[in-house]
Structure 1
Amino acid sequence: MPINRLGPDGARLVTVSGGDSALLAVASNLFAEIFPDDKRYIPYIHACAQGQNPSHPHTFDHVWLVEQGGEYVGVRVFSHITTRNFGHGAYIGFAPRARGQGLGRWLVEQTHAQLDEDARQFGHEGSIGYLVEVERPIDAESEEARQTSVKRNQFHRQCDAIFLPVPFTEPVMIAGVDYLRPKDLADEAPRPMHLVFIPSARGLKIQNLDLVNLVHGIYLDVYRLSAEHEFVKQALGYPK
């Protein structure tokens, strides 16, 4: 389906490109507002806005803003994995004033449309969906954090999410990037997460998902880990 840049209640999609510093600043500030615990990852947002950053050799990246009523209220960061027929959803979020309007579901639909277009551009028949990493409520350190995690899980389930039966550990960052130094993330540590697949209309027709392909896609092509890395082996049930 084509991308529908006009959404509910007058919302519209705005693409943030590497050459538009004004929109990059808007995206960065809104990202910090919506994801205050992830401010140190703003350089990642800047890298994704370039589309094809040298530090992301196997992804074609997108940064979108959602504008409504003359102000920016939402941000979306995601990628097509160029070696696969699926993508990776890094961030989707809205300012409190824009929640509860169905904008999230609309944004997921447009993500599928963009990924399908990307997949065809890179030689595939279309996109089968995308992967996301979602916090596990059991790991929350407070009741407020647990409730937030529960809501995020519920949102993805409403989008036909398939919670994959693999033990997944989220790396701190993509390996070998040139825009963040190890000391910038010194306080971060890998954490267990749900690995979730959000299928497109094409993906919903697949009876048996290839778990190895999905795991390799996110670990080898997005995070740039070796196939021998302990996270990869753990997810696939291989001995260390």
Structure 2
Amino acid sequence: MQLIDIGANLSHDSFDHDRDAVLARAREAGVAQLVVTGASREHSPKALALAQSHPGFLFATAGVHPHHAAEYTDEADAEMRALQAHPEVVAVGECGLDYFRDFSPRPAQRKAFERQLQIGADTGKPLFLHQRDAHADFIAMMKNFDGRLGPAVVHCFTGTREELFDYLDQDWHIGITGWLCDERRGLHLRELVKHIPAERLMIETDAPYLLPRTVKPQPSHRRNEPMFLAHIVEELARDRGEDVAATAAATTAAARAFFRLPAA
């Protein structure tokens, strides 16, 4: 069983002391390839460096998350464009809108998102998107680029049925995380994942965040890591009424096609 983790924040400092061991455990758990999320001016270059140090296994995205939108200057735009020139960078983002936290002012979020959508339009690379509590503005801004963008994935989907079908109507992909395993916040996803076409469904850990609450025993450090992708695909397959191997194969094929990854 080969799995592809489409979003792990492996440049996070919680991995600094054992990153090689984390990657070894991921391989042992069936993770054949992994996309390292770049979500800020600081961490996007680090994501690229990790991908370059593990050719064929790690890949990277490059972008500025809405939490960091206030840092999106002309210089930041030039940095993101330079990063996109590297073949190991397989998507633009993580970018989008987050009105739940509002760590950056909403006008700054919209400006940063628009500029990164323009990078997507200019490069043709896939988009790795974030949306939380900003659905209407998110959809409107994406529609401003109709016909000019490559494929898009709404990563770490946690939204409503209406949001899901709006995204599917746009032919976008959906990334599912361990949020699915959260009995407090994720129960609605158990039903919704049945409606995602196999060719547009992908899986991710969002490590070190979102440790699946159904992993037993829970690690004492509470850090999520890519080896738990195997647990997520098992839960996802059960909710979709599928064989685990079938769900694994479909999500891997979807991810490989979306990010244009070589065979592992």
Q: Tell me if TM exceeds 0.5.
A: no
Structure (1 or 2) with the greater strand fraction? 1
Could you tell me the TM-score, scaled by structure 1's length? 0.35
TM-score, with structure 2 as normaliser:
0.33
